[in-house]
Structure 1
Amino acid sequence: MSQPESALADAQAGGRAPESLAALAQRYGLRRAIARPSMPAYLRQLWDRRHFILTYATSRNVSKYSESALGQLWQVLTPLLNAAVYWLMFGIILDQHKGIDNYPAFLITGVMVFTFTQRTVTGGAKSISSNLSLIRALHFPRASLPLAYAMQELQQLGWSMGVLLALILVTGETPTLLWVLVPLSLLMQLVFNLGVSLFMARVGAFARDVNQLLPFILRTWLYASGVFYMISDKTKHLPDILRWALEFNPAAAYIEFMRDLLIYDRFPERWAWTTCIFWAVFALIAGFWYFWRAEERYGRG
């Protein structure tokens, strides 16, 4: 019999009121097994499980297309088909290409960059609620799940970027030295995506209806991010505060940053660097803190 159990039994045998379980735990230095660890300890736990996160992401990628006839080829076909649909709707039917040089490359870049964020946020929102059996069966830092979903989208992004670069070359653009900054642009966007994914993972865990609303929210965000049009051109008659808000939109900032590197052959302006770095740092810190605060509650109920 352990010391706390022995103390509780002695108190009952002697007719004394037994101490509360909390008092006994405090006396003998015990703590809850699922208690939220400190932030440094939590970060160490995540680092210790980095191999699990990468393996889980890879296995999800492999199994995602395992039952389809074309298998992993869909990782190439999906971005191609998306680009074709948007080109048909916005480039031909709605005639949005006026005043924009190389509109096909302009459109494809916007679609690919936004899709990376869109898919990561969607996966993060479902990462906890879709894995309750795993959460209840094993003890591990719950942030591993939204991080694994983000890594899964990063792996798929490799295929999308290959398609994007090939299509940009086909439309007449030529590689420049600025293309070496593309991985840095994707890194900033990845950090931003991780933060938003962690934030949405907690929201989706306790407010299940948000997964039904999320497609509408993301579609609105898509239309407000300059994917199909140039924000500076469409908003020149709007109030300055509204135009500034649209340009400060993180998705629009990452899209414009990538277009500068791949299409316009110009070094991104200082505001673009500031905006992209700000959103990456702010989203990661705020999202991680918000998710960590509810660590003890995931999987209950």
Structure 2
Amino acid sequence: MNESPAALAARHGLAVSGARPGLPEYVRQLWDRRHFVVTLSRARLHAQYSQARLGQWWQLATPLLNAAVFYLIFGRLIGTRDGVPDFVPFLVTGVFVFAFTQNSVLSGTRAISGQQRLVQTLHFPRASLPLSVCLLQLQQLLYSLAVLVAIVLAWGERPRAAWLLAVPALALQFVFNAGLTLVTARLGSKVPDIAQLMPFAVRTWMYASGVMYSTDHLTAGRHLPRFVEWLLNLNPAAVHIDLMRYALIDSFRDARALPPHAWAIALGWALLVGAGGFVYFWQAEERYGRG
């Protein structure tokens, strides 16, 4: 009997090593390895500053130094603080929230390509790697939020029920970031140059997201095309920043009403990019680590 190798393998219950499982099975495998994802993110967090003398204190110092640089350049030299009450909490919130997305995206470009030996040696859902990167950035954001709360309190704010809105805002941003990180991880696994180009794209995105100034400054007195204003209003980074500012800063909440569609936009981006990014990454599952 001349039986093909494929038929012979199927008859004896053999399967291709590293073959992509179905999407429901892939989700189940990923859930079974959730402890691995958490442990990996924690290990990376502790190893990140292990060689520095200040150690984990850099978790607090780095976002503060970034905020100080932006304050010096944009607040003092350029004067974007004019007309913005409580500019320091306003600025620090924008810097910290955008950094969460920025660092997730940039780290995601090397989530697979930087772990080739692990990917080629062990069999596990490859999505574990970019998701652990995103979880690492969430842990770093929590350090930053401790500093942010201290700054907000120092500027006269008092804890209010509105602060609880920060929890769903961060949850939606995390899902969005996770999907975007999965996308950049797949792109970076095949095109290493993506890691070199992505910082320029993210920096451009930052300047259009109202991190250092109110997004109203981008449109005030300018006759922009309708589609440009539409894109600015739908910018997910700007929406996430506005939601956090609205939750934590009274003067921001008093100065402008939160657009009624802001939460819907954040939810829409989380579902679209979170689910879409996951499926996009899963489709190339069996190709990761094969050169």
- Structure 1, unaligned runs of 5 or more: 1-10, 12-17
Aligned residues: 285
Q: Give the deviation of 1:128 after TM superposition.
A: 0.1
Report sequence identity in percent. Answer: 48
- Could you tell me whether the CA contact under 8 Å between 1:75 and 1:156 is conserved in 2? yes
Give the match for residue 264 of structure 2: 274
Q: How does 1:1-301 map to 2 (within 5 A)?
A: 18-236=2-220, 237=222, 238-263=224-249, 264-265=252-253, 268-301=258-291
Residues 109-156 of structure 1: CA distance to partner in whole angstroms, max 9, x if unpaired?
110100000011111111000000001111000000001111111111
In 2, Cα distance between equivalents of 1:241 and 1:233: 17
1:61 is paired with a residue of what secondary structure? helix
Q: Give the deviation of 1:215 after TM superposition.
A: 0.7
Alignment root-mean-square deviation, CA: 1.4
Q: Give the deviation of 1:172 after TM superposition.
A: 2.6
- Could you tell me whether the CA contact under 8 Å between 1:178 and 1:265 is conserved in 2? no
In 2, Cα distance between equivalents of 1:271 and 1:223: 22
Give the match for residue 3 of structure 1: none
Q: Give the deviation of 1:43 after TM superposition.
A: 0.5
Residues 9-60 of structure 1: CA distance to partner in whole angstroms, max 9, x if unpaired?
xx6xxxxxx4432232234443212110011100110111011110110011
In 2, Cα distance between equivalents of 1:137 and 1:174: 52
- TM-score of the superposition, structure 1-length normalised? 0.91
- Could you tell me whether the CA contact under 8 Å between 2:173 and 2:270 is conserved in 1? yes
- Could you tell me whether the CA contact under 8 Å between 1:196 and 1:284 is conserved in 2? yes
- Could you tell me whether the CA contact under 8 Å between 2:166 and 2:243 is conserved in 1? no
In 1, Cα distance between equivalents of 2:186 and 2:4: 32
- Could you tell me whether the CA contact under 8 Å between 2:30 and 2:127 is conserved in 1? yes
Between structure 1 and structure 2, the one with the greater Rg is: 1
In 2, Cα distance between equivalents of 1:270 and 1:20: 62
1:126 is paired with a residue of what secondary structure? coil
Q: Give the deviation of 1:193 after TM superposition.
A: 0.4
> Residue 261 of structure 1 aligns to which amino acid in structure 2?
A
Q: Give the deviation of 1:233 after TM superposition.
A: 3.2
In 2, Cα distance between equivalents of 1:249 and 1:265: 19
Between 278-287 and 29-38, report the one with greater CA deviation.
29-38
Q: Give the deviation of 1:173 after TM superposition.
A: 2.4
> Residue 6 of structure 2 aligns to which amino acid in structure 1?
A
Between 63-72 and 268-277, report the one with greater CA deviation.
268-277
Q: Give the deviation of 1:268 after TM superposition.
A: 4.0
- Could you tell me whether the CA contact under 8 Å between 2:172 and 2:267 is conserved in 1? yes
In 1, Cα distance between equivalents of 2:92 and 2:85: 13
